[in-house]
Structure formats: C-alpha cells, structure tokens
Amino acid sequence: MKVKDPVSGFTHLAGALLSVTGLVVLIYVAARKGTPWHIVSFAVFGASLILLYTASTLYHLLPLSEKGTWTLRKVDHMMIYVLIAGTYTPICLVVLRGIWGWSILGCIWALALLGIIMKIFWLNAPRWLSTLFYLAMGWLIVIAFPPLLEAVPLRGMYWLAAGGILYTVGAVIYG
C-alpha cells in the first residue's frame, strides 16, 4: 500500500490515539468530580478531536480513487468546523451556562453547520474565505468576555488566550 502523505497521516493517527486517551481521562474525571454538564461537554469535545484526527488520518493515508480522495478531503475539512464548535462546548456548558453559554453554543454550532454546508457544496472555495470563517468562529467568544472574566480566574484566561492564539496561528498557516 502506497501512503499519500505519511508524515501528516501518522502524526494525525497519533493525534487520534491521544484524543481517545484524552477522552477517556476527561470522562473519568468528569464522572468522579463533575456534573452531567461536564460529562456531556467533555464527551462532545473529545469526540470532536477524535473525528477530526481520524478524518485527517484517513485522508492523508489511504490511497483512494480521485472520488474517494475528494470525499475524504471534504470530510477532513468539515471536521475543522466540528472541532472548533466542540472546543466551545465545555466553555459554554460548564463555564458560562445561562443565556451567554446557550447563546454562544447555539451560534457556534450554527456556524459550524454553515461551514460544513459550505465545504459540501464549495470545497474549492478560496482558502482565505475558509480561514476567515475559522477565525471568526474561534474569536466569537470575545463577545462574552465580561461574563467569561467573571467565571474564569485570570490564570485560566491566560490559557484561553493562548489557545486562541494557537488556533489563530494554525488558521493563518492553513490560509
């Protein structure tokens, strides 16, 4: 079997396996010390990681027909939207909750659905458009900055900012 892109394929396979491990740990800790909100939101986050890395692994490793490759490329790109929304889910359901949490959660999953629809029907959209969409989704949380600052200690805000910066760097590199 000839592998298309072994470096991407095997690093993303490692990401998928680590995501499974991470999901197990998150669910275990949530079940012992958290609430049902923790369990559900961590499961969504972990599943979104697994879906993204699995789709990417298959896209980069499997030698398929042109149609098969095209289909996996679509799924690979769609999972980026799922991961962004999945990353928001614990923040919305555990940290913010209330009107802010539910509003942001609804918006981010609606944007993810729009992004998925865009990839289904316009996979070759200009990269800058996808990048702009990823960045808009990633930084949507800024509108909830005041309640987020009330709910998250400063140290946690630094971690959120670092995550946002890393997402931004990834989106810019992609674009």
Residue 97 CA to residue 77 CA, distance in Å, equals 29
Predicted structure pTM score: 0.93
Q: What residue ranges do the domains of the chain occupy?
A: 6-174
**What percent of the chain shows pLDDT beyond 90?**
90
Q: List Cβ neighbours of 171 (8 Å cut-off, separation of 6 or more).
A: 131, 134, 135, 138
The helix (run of H) or strand (run of E) holding residue 60 is helix 36-61
Give pLDDT tens digits for 80-93: 999 999 999 999 99
For 142-168, the three-class secondary structure string (H helix, E strand, C coil) is: HHHHHHHHHHCCHHHHHHHHHHHHHHH
The end-to-end CA distance of the chain, in Å, is 31
Q: Say whether pLDDT at 4 is over 90.
A: no
